[in-house]
Amino acid sequence: MSYLREIMHRLRERSGASESGREPTGVAYSPLSERVLEEHLHSYRQCLKSCSDAMLPYEWAWLEDHLATLQLSSGQGSMQKVLGGPQRVADLLRETRCFQAEVRGELERRGLEHGNRTAPLAAQEHAWELSNPAIRLEWGIEPAEPPSG
Protein backbone atom coordinates (compact mmCIF):
# COMPACT_ATOMS: atom_id res chain seq x y z
CA MET A 1 0.00 0.00 0.00
CA SER A 2 2.86 2.41 0.64
CA TYR A 3 3.90 1.98 -3.01
CA LEU A 4 0.50 3.28 -4.17
CA ARG A 5 0.74 6.14 -1.70
CA GLU A 6 4.17 7.03 -3.13
CA ILE A 7 2.81 6.94 -6.70
CA MET A 8 -0.11 9.17 -5.73
CA HIS A 9 2.27 11.61 -4.03
CA ARG A 10 4.57 11.74 -7.08
CA LEU A 11 1.67 12.26 -9.47
CA ARG A 12 0.17 14.97 -7.28
CA GLU A 13 3.51 16.79 -7.22
CA ARG A 14 4.04 16.41 -10.96
CA SER A 15 0.57 17.59 -11.86
CA GLY A 16 0.37 20.40 -9.33
CA ALA A 17 -3.02 19.11 -8.17
CA SER A 18 -3.99 19.36 -4.55
CA GLU A 19 -5.77 16.80 -2.40
CA SER A 20 -9.08 18.37 -3.38
CA GLY A 21 -8.46 17.69 -7.06
CA ARG A 22 -8.31 21.38 -7.84
CA GLU A 23 -5.46 23.31 -9.31
CA PRO A 24 -3.21 25.20 -6.87
CA THR A 25 -5.02 28.43 -7.78
CA GLY A 26 -8.27 26.96 -6.46
CA VAL A 27 -9.86 26.91 -9.90
CA ALA A 28 -11.50 23.67 -11.01
CA TYR A 29 -9.73 21.78 -13.78
CA SER A 30 -10.97 22.28 -17.34
CA PRO A 31 -10.10 19.90 -20.18
CA LEU A 32 -6.88 20.46 -22.11
CA SER A 33 -7.69 22.34 -25.31
CA GLU A 34 -5.81 21.85 -28.57
CA ARG A 35 -4.44 25.39 -28.28
CA VAL A 36 -3.08 24.80 -24.77
CA LEU A 37 -1.66 21.41 -25.77
CA GLU A 38 0.13 23.02 -28.71
CA GLU A 39 1.53 25.72 -26.40
CA HIS A 40 2.83 23.01 -24.05
CA LEU A 41 4.33 21.11 -26.99
CA HIS A 42 6.01 24.26 -28.31
CA SER A 43 7.63 24.91 -24.91
CA TYR A 44 8.60 21.26 -24.61
CA ARG A 45 10.22 21.27 -28.08
CA GLN A 46 12.28 24.30 -27.09
CA CYS A 47 13.50 22.51 -23.96
CA LEU A 48 14.38 19.39 -25.98
CA LYS A 49 16.36 21.41 -28.51
CA SER A 50 18.50 22.79 -25.71
CA CYS A 51 19.18 19.31 -24.31
CA SER A 52 22.53 17.64 -24.78
CA ASP A 53 22.61 14.22 -26.43
CA ALA A 54 23.05 12.62 -22.97
CA MET A 55 19.92 14.33 -21.67
CA LEU A 56 17.59 12.82 -24.26
CA PRO A 57 17.79 9.18 -23.06
CA TYR A 58 17.18 10.45 -19.52
CA GLU A 59 14.12 12.37 -20.70
CA TRP A 60 12.87 9.28 -22.56
CA ALA A 61 13.22 7.15 -19.42
CA TRP A 62 11.60 9.88 -17.31
CA LEU A 63 8.60 10.00 -19.66
CA GLU A 64 8.29 6.21 -19.67
CA ASP A 65 8.19 6.24 -15.88
CA HIS A 66 5.68 9.10 -15.83
CA LEU A 67 3.49 7.39 -18.44
CA ALA A 68 3.48 4.09 -16.52
CA THR A 69 2.47 5.91 -13.36
CA LEU A 70 -0.33 7.75 -15.16
CA GLN A 71 -1.57 4.53 -16.75
CA LEU A 72 -1.70 2.90 -13.34
CA SER A 73 -3.66 5.83 -11.94
CA SER A 74 -6.11 5.84 -14.85
CA GLY A 75 -7.68 2.63 -13.50
CA GLN A 76 -7.83 3.78 -9.88
CA GLY A 77 -10.66 6.11 -8.89
CA SER A 78 -8.89 7.40 -5.78
CA MET A 79 -5.74 8.18 -7.75
CA GLN A 80 -7.77 9.93 -10.44
CA LYS A 81 -9.43 12.06 -7.78
CA VAL A 82 -6.04 13.12 -6.38
CA LEU A 83 -4.99 14.24 -9.84
CA GLY A 84 -8.16 16.19 -10.59
CA GLY A 85 -10.46 13.51 -12.00
CA PRO A 86 -10.62 11.16 -14.97
CA GLN A 87 -10.51 13.98 -17.56
CA ARG A 88 -7.35 15.42 -16.02
CA VAL A 89 -5.68 11.98 -16.03
CA ALA A 90 -6.74 11.44 -19.66
CA ASP A 91 -5.29 14.83 -20.60
CA LEU A 92 -2.03 14.11 -18.77
CA LEU A 93 -1.77 10.77 -20.60
CA ARG A 94 -2.43 12.47 -23.94
CA GLU A 95 0.11 15.20 -23.26
CA THR A 96 2.75 12.74 -22.06
CA ARG A 97 2.32 10.61 -25.20
CA CYS A 98 2.76 13.75 -27.31
CA PHE A 99 5.90 14.62 -25.36
CA GLN A 100 7.18 11.09 -25.91
CA ALA A 101 6.66 11.49 -29.67
CA GLU A 102 8.66 14.74 -29.52
CA VAL A 103 11.55 13.03 -27.72
CA ARG A 104 11.44 10.15 -30.23
CA GLY A 105 11.64 12.67 -33.07
CA GLU A 106 14.53 14.56 -31.47
CA LEU A 107 16.42 11.31 -30.87
CA GLU A 108 15.93 10.34 -34.53
CA ARG A 109 17.03 13.79 -35.78
CA ARG A 110 20.26 13.39 -33.82
CA GLY A 111 20.78 9.77 -34.82
CA LEU A 112 20.43 8.57 -31.23
CA GLU A 113 18.48 5.76 -29.60
CA HIS A 114 16.61 5.95 -26.34
CA GLY A 115 18.23 2.73 -25.13
CA ASN A 116 17.46 1.10 -21.85
CA ARG A 117 17.27 2.82 -18.52
CA THR A 118 20.78 2.89 -17.14
CA ALA A 119 20.55 4.96 -13.98
CA PRO A 120 18.04 6.32 -11.47
CA LEU A 121 15.66 9.16 -12.23
CA ALA A 122 14.72 12.20 -10.21
CA ALA A 123 10.94 11.83 -10.01
CA GLN A 124 10.18 15.55 -10.28
CA GLU A 125 12.84 16.67 -12.73
CA HIS A 126 12.92 16.65 -16.51
CA ALA A 127 16.36 16.30 -18.09
CA TRP A 128 16.91 20.06 -18.29
CA GLU A 129 15.89 20.47 -14.64
CA LEU A 130 18.05 17.67 -13.24
CA SER A 131 19.86 19.00 -10.20
CA ASN A 132 21.24 15.84 -8.55
CA PRO A 133 24.95 15.68 -9.46
CA ALA A 134 25.16 11.91 -8.88
CA ILE A 135 22.25 11.20 -11.22
CA ARG A 136 23.66 13.62 -13.81
CA LEU A 137 26.98 11.78 -13.63
CA GLU A 138 25.36 8.34 -14.00
CA TRP A 139 23.50 9.50 -17.13
CA GLY A 140 26.59 11.18 -18.57
CA ILE A 141 25.04 14.64 -18.34
CA GLU A 142 27.49 17.49 -17.88
CA PRO A 143 27.45 19.16 -14.48
CA ALA A 144 24.84 21.87 -14.12
CA GLU A 145 25.98 25.43 -14.68
CA PRO A 146 26.25 27.35 -11.41
CA PRO A 147 23.68 30.11 -11.11
CA SER A 148 25.01 33.38 -12.46
CA GLY A 149 24.69 36.51 -10.48
Per-residue pLDDT, averaged over 124-139, amounts to 93
Find out whether 56 and 48 touch, Cβ atoms under 8 Å.
yes
The residue count for the chain? 149
pLDDT band at 26 (very low <50, low <70, confident <90, very high): very low
pLDDT band at 13 (very low <50, low <70, confident <90, very high): low
Per-residue pLDDT, averaged over 124-132, amounts to 93
Better-predicted residue by pLDDT, 4 or 60: 60
Task: For 83-124, write each residue's pLDDT tens digit.
Answer: 888 888 899 999 999 999 999 999 999 999 887 777 899 988
Q: Cα-flanking dihedrals φ and ψ of residue 28, to 5°?
A: -65, 150
Mean pLDDT of the chain: 82
* 121 closest CA partner among 67, 58, 71, 60: 58
pLDDT of residue 74: 83
Q: What is the pTM of this model?
A: 0.78
Find out whether 101 and 93 touch, Cβ atoms under 8 Å.
no
